[in-house]
Amino acid sequence: MAGAEGGRVVNSYLVYRASFYLMMTVATTALCADPTDDRGGWFLPPVVAAAGLAAFLTVDRKPEWSLPSGLATLLGVGSLGLLYAEYTMDETQAIRCLGHWLISLQLIKYFLPKRIEDDWVLFMVGLMQVLIGAVINVGDQVGIWLFLWAVLAVWVLGQFFLQREARRFLAPAGTVANARAPLEPLEEDPYRSLFDAPYFWATARVLALTLGLGFFVFLLLPRQQGVTRSRFGPTTAKHLTGFEEEVELGQLGEILENDTAVMTVEFTDGDKIPTRPPAEPLWRGATLNTYEKGRWRRQNYRSQRTLASYRGRSANRRPALRQLIKLEANDSPTLFGIRPFVGIESAYRLGQGPQLNPVDGTLYRNEARGPYDYEIVSELDPDLPQLSEDPPSDDRIKNVLLEIPDDIRAALEPIARPVVAAHPGDGPEAVRARAKALEAYLLDPGVFAYSLEMRQVDASLDPVVDFLVNRKEGHCEYFASALAMLLRSAGIPSRMINGFKGGDWNDFTQTMTVRQKHAHSWVEAYLGRDKEGRARWLSLDPTPGNEREKSIAQIGGLASHFRGVTDLFRYVWVFYILGYDSNRQAKLYSPVRELFKEIREGYGIIWKWGSETFSKLFDFQSFRSLISFRGFVVSFLVLSLVVALFRGAVWLFKRLLALWRGPIDDLQGSSGVLFYRRLVQLLADYDLKRAPAETQGEFAHRAFRFLSGREDGAREVAALPEKVVEAFYQVRFGHRELATETLEDLEKSLDLLEARLSEPAPG
């Protein structure tokens, strides 16, 4: 930054070029922001940054060090081969391949001389990378890089304009700047005093205004209803451990220490009024039925049934809880929601929307890749039966829900028998009591403890038996597996559920972000059929809650302390950028509409009062009634209004006349301005010209330093430029007339300056 005389000076061209390379690096980062979809793209931003630094130190300072044009052409043609090779490796990633090809062209362009047109080409290449990144990437990090690129783009365009105008201004008289000449540092930087605090403050205001107006226009653009986050073709999605067809016991622990977001949820009631969720909601996911040798398996067949859309509250409908879910990209077909579901709504076409498996109550989607947006409507009572789920047949109860290996049955029956002995009977309530007793047995903190460590004391035993008999500590998957086996050993049909429990609630956005660390396993016990023949399932969670919450709170490191702020940015990106549709637009505008409605009603009341008041005020029964105090007030108001209208008409006429005549430079013949112009002409004869970004005062100060450094008589008149500029300021901005003595003094001073500058240099 250039400050006072003798301070450090920053070359404006080098600032422009460094900013340009930084902008291009951010554009490449926006393209490669999602590493799960671009496995080999993580190294491209560092390569682009290194190439920009190399070009900054070589070609941009010495254009003769650039690549030969023939070699550059050969490399450009060769990049087409790389494009084709990458496309043949994965034809579903055509747009991403195009983005990578643009990066290769960008790198070639870096090491060529850069004219004004070349910088425009590079800028458009960066813009294309940003647009491609916005289409193919949906992670919340993409929004941050897009914002940074927009800020840098506005800054770089401003610097580009200054560099272009400087070359036009400094072109020799009677010529124009050579547009085909490479951009390189000027011999004398015209913007040495540019980078100061006022300049950066003004730039910040322009950035804020530009980005604010852009975002405002984005919010105002008409939106379609039910916009969903989609991608170009299939994508490589994040793997969601614990929701495969076969899950090894303990495998869920892999994601319990992962802070990655799985979904973001908004909650409303049945009438779509925002509300808070229940404490620690269970997000039901995959149903696991068969256990053998430390592995749980899902059923090997899938049927589907579509739930009807929720019709809202009616006289015979119970209160409901809506969950608007933005599911991040993952490779599992499983969908999540709070059970029991009574309705599903989505913007996907028939066959692509959420489906319910009536056999095991699992929600799923047909396409297990990419992000997914849907809305679940749930009953508030978790003990109510699930609609559209078929009761298990006797054969399924016997061979699936009560199936338990013989060695495990032999080990667990002695444990379960004394626990359930106090609750005999065959009815649903007796079954419930026995199931609750087994759950309470595992919740005893004096016997069992929560831990993420997965060690086995006796490798010869089944992991569930080893957990119950020896280890007696583990995470939720061990507790749920143990309860499911205990229930089956006691003759109670059961199944294990993998899903999520709770989430990070954000008071700023009124949303919940569910992360992988919230993964959870619990058990559903079958109680039989209700009076209407529907299946009754009881959810049981045997995992110690307090110890689990402490473990979750420790995951995330330093970033967890700023979770409220980061989730706020994530909410804006997911709900108001990627998922911004007509419904959300209407929700955003509703307070504004209500405000305008109240304003209109208020003005209506004022207008009604005013019209009634004026009608009474001007209601004169006869001419004699006009001669009164009320008549005097009315006459005064009417005459005042006529005078105001006349003066307004005169002012408007003068303004229109001035516009018709065109601008008149009333300072053209002013003495102060003429003296300043003479000063500029005198100094220009000695190659001392005012730069485009330089004020008259800064120019006068530079002239003072120039004249003070001469060895001739010019030192005597070094202060004259500042004296003339001061008079110019008084006339131009102070609108003052100079005294006759001042005019004569200025004329003598300029004559003396001209004489001193005309003297030959000594020696």
pLDDT tens for 689-718 read: 877 767 888 888 888 887 777 666 667 778
Name the nearest CA neighbour of 451 among 309, 250, 287: 250
Q: Give the pLDDT score at 433.
A: 94
Helix, strand, or coil here: 541?
Answer: coil
Name the nearest CA neighbour of 518 among 753, 730, 280: 280
Q: Is 673 exposed, middle or buried (0-12, 13-18, 19+ CB in 10 A)?
A: middle
Q: What are phi and psi of 373, to 5 degrees?
A: -115, 130
User: What are 273's two structure tokens?
Assistant: 């009024």
Name the nearest CA neighbour of 486 among 538, 544, 525: 525
What is the number of helices (H) and of strands (E) in the chain?
21, 18
> Is residue 118 one of the residues assigned to a domain?
yes
Residue 747 pLDDT greater than 50, yes or no: yes
Residues 162 and 91 in one domain: yes
> Is residue 627 one of the residues assigned to a domain?
no
CA–CA separation, 201 vs 209, rounded Å?
A: 12
Residues 605 and 723 in one domain: no
Share of the chain above pLDDT 90, in %: 25
Q: What are phi and psi of 702, to 5 degrees?
A: -65, -40
The pLDDT-based confidence of 247 (bands split at 50, 70, 90) is confident
Residues 199 and 60 in one domain: yes
Q: What is the largest CA-CA distance in the chain?
A: 124
Residue 671 pLDDT greater than 70, yes or no: no
Residue 666 pLDDT greater than 90, yes or no: no
CA–CA separation, 397 vs 402, rounded Å?
A: 6
Q: Give the pLDDT score at 662.
A: 53
Q: Give the pLDDT score at 313.
A: 47
The H or E element that residue 614 is part of is: helix 582-617
Which residues 6+ apart lie within 8 Å of 108 measured at CB? 67, 72, 75, 76, 79
Q: Give the pLDDT score at 583.
A: 63
Name the nearest CA neighbour of 390 among 361, 430, 427: 361
Q: Give the residue-averaged pLDDT of 587-615.
A: 79
Distance of CA 245 to the CA centre of its chain: 34
Residues 591 and 719 in one domain: no
User: What are 600's two structure tokens?
Assistant: 């209109």
Residue 605 pLDDT greater than 90, yes or no: no
Residues 50 and 185 in one domain: yes
User: What are 246's two structure tokens?
Assistant: 């076969």
Helix, strand, or coil here: 753?
Answer: helix
- The last residue of one of the domains, among 220, 247, 277, is 220
Name the nearest CA neighbour of 471 among 485, 482, 487: 482
Residues 605 and 728 in one domain: no
51/38: higher pLDDT: 51
Q: Give the pLDDT score at 234.
A: 44
Residues 51 and 136 in one domain: yes
Residue 348 pLDDT greater than 70, yes or no: no
Segment 317-326, tens digit of pLDDT: 678 899 999 8
Q: Give the pLDDT score at 172.
A: 57
Q: Give the residue-averaged pLDDT of 150-159.
A: 90
Which residues 6+ apart lie within 8 Å of 743 measured at CB? 671, 675
> Is residue 486 one of the residues assigned to a domain?
no
Q: Give the pLDDT score at 173.
A: 47
The pLDDT-based confidence of 344 (bands split at 50, 70, 90) is confident
Specify the amino acid at residue 154.
V
> Is residue 381 one of the residues assigned to a domain?
no
Distance of CA 310 to the CA centre of its chain: 31
User: What are 356's two structure tokens?
Assistant: 């319910």
Residue 182 pLDDT greater than 90, yes or no: no
* Exposure of 679 in the CB half-sphere (CA atoms within 13 A): 30
Specify the amino acid at residue 514.
V
CA–CA separation, 239 vs 241, rounded Å?
A: 6
Strands (E), 421-481: 449-450, 473-474
The pLDDT-based confidence of 152 (bands split at 50, 70, 90) is very high
Segment 376-393, tens digit of pLDDT: 999 988 888 998 888 999
Which residues 6+ apart lie within 8 Å of 341 measured at CB? 307, 356, 363, 376, 377, 378, 386, 387
Strands (E), 643-735: none
Angle between helices 629-661 and 582-617 (to 10 degrees): 130
> Is residue 600 one of the residues assigned to a domain?
yes
**Contact call for residues 725 and 696 (beta carbons, < 8 A):** yes
Residue 278 pLDDT greater than 80, yes or no: yes
Helix, strand, or coil here: 694?
Answer: coil
- Look at 82-96, 226-240, 392-406 and tell me which has the smallest mean pLDDT: 226-240
Name the nearest CA neighbour of 368 among 515, 228, 521, 239: 239
Q: Give the residue-averaged pLDDT of 93-122.
A: 88
> Please, where are the H alpha helices in 473-544?
476-489
Residue 233 pLDDT greater than 90, yes or no: no
The pLDDT-based confidence of 312 (bands split at 50, 70, 90) is low
Q: Structural domain tally of the chain?
A: 3
As a whole number of Å, the end-to-end CA separation of the chain is 38
Residue 329 pLDDT greater than 60, yes or no: yes
Residue 664 pLDDT greater than 50, yes or no: no
Share of the chain above pLDDT 70, in %: 81
Q: Give the pLDDT score at 352.
A: 62
Q: Give the pLDDT score at 288.
A: 92
- Please, which residues bridge with residue 515 across strands? 261
> Is residue 528 one of the residues assigned to a domain?
no
Name the nearest CA neighbour of 361 among 518, 496, 512, 541: 496
586/559: higher pLDDT: 586
Which residues 6+ apart lie within 8 Å of 308 measured at CB? 343
User: 424 preceded by cis ω (within 30°)?
Assistant: no
Specify the amino acid at residue 92.
T
The pLDDT-based confidence of 558 (bands split at 50, 70, 90) is low
| Paired sense of beta strands 504-506 and 449-450, if any | unpaired
- The last residue of one of the domains, among 168, 192, 220, is 220
Residues 598 and 741 in one domain: no
Name the nearest CA neighbour of 745 among 718, 713, 715, 720: 720
Q: What are phi and psi of 543, to 5 degrees?
A: -80, 130
Q: Give the pLDDT score at 305.
A: 63
> Is residue 279 one of the residues assigned to a domain?
no
Q: Give the pLDDT score at 761.
A: 59
- The last residue of one of the domains, among 180, 203, 220, is 220
Residues 167 and 68 in one domain: yes
- Tell me how far CA of residue 748 lies from CA of 363, 675, 743, in angstroms: 94, 11, 9
Angle between helices 476-489 and 406-420 (to 10 degrees): 80
> Tokens 């009124």 belong to which residue?
510
> Is residue 633 one of the residues assigned to a domain?
no
CA–CA separation, 523 vs 537, rounded Å?
A: 10
CA–CA separation, 203 vs 462, rounded Å?
A: 68
- Its domain, for residue 588, covers 581-612
The H or E element that residue 265 is part of is: strand 261-269
Residues 694 and 587 in one domain: no
User: What are 474's two structure tokens?
Assistant: 């583990």
Residue 762 pLDDT greater than 60, yes or no: no
User: What are 194's two structure tokens?
Assistant: 């540019």
The H or E element that residue 376 is part of is: strand 372-379
Strands (E), 427-518: 449-450, 473-474, 494-501, 504-506, 511-515
CA–CA separation, 317 vs 311, rounded Å?
A: 9
Q: Give the pLDDT score at 63.
A: 80
Residue 562 pLDDT greater than 70, yes or no: no
- Tell me how far CA of residue 278 lies from CA of 379, 479, 563, in angstroms: 12, 23, 21
Helix, strand, or coil here: 579?
Answer: coil
Q: Give the pLDDT score at 174.
A: 46
User: What are 29's two structure tokens?
Assistant: 């980062």
- Look at 198-202, 265-269, 428-432 and tell me which has the smallest mean pLDDT: 198-202
Specify the amino acid at residue 298.
R
Q: Give the residue-averaged pLDDT of 13-39.
A: 83
Q: Is 465 exposed, middle or buried (0-12, 13-18, 19+ CB in 10 A)?
A: buried
User: What are 576's two structure tokens?
Assistant: 């108001």
Kindly report the average pLDDT of the chain as a whole number: 80
Residues 601 and 724 in one domain: no
CA–CA separation, 171 vs 169, rounded Å?
A: 6
Residues 113 and 196 in one domain: yes
The pLDDT-based confidence of 89 (bands split at 50, 70, 90) is confident
168/48: higher pLDDT: 48
Q: Give the pLDDT score at 69.
A: 84
Radius of gyration of the chain (CA): 39
The secondary structure of 194-256 as a DSSP string is: --SHHHHHHHHHHHHHHHHHHHHHHHHS---TT-----SS---PBP-TT-SSEEETTGGGGTT
**Contact call for residues 703 and 683 (beta carbons, < 8 A):** yes
The pLDDT-based confidence of 746 (bands split at 50, 70, 90) is confident
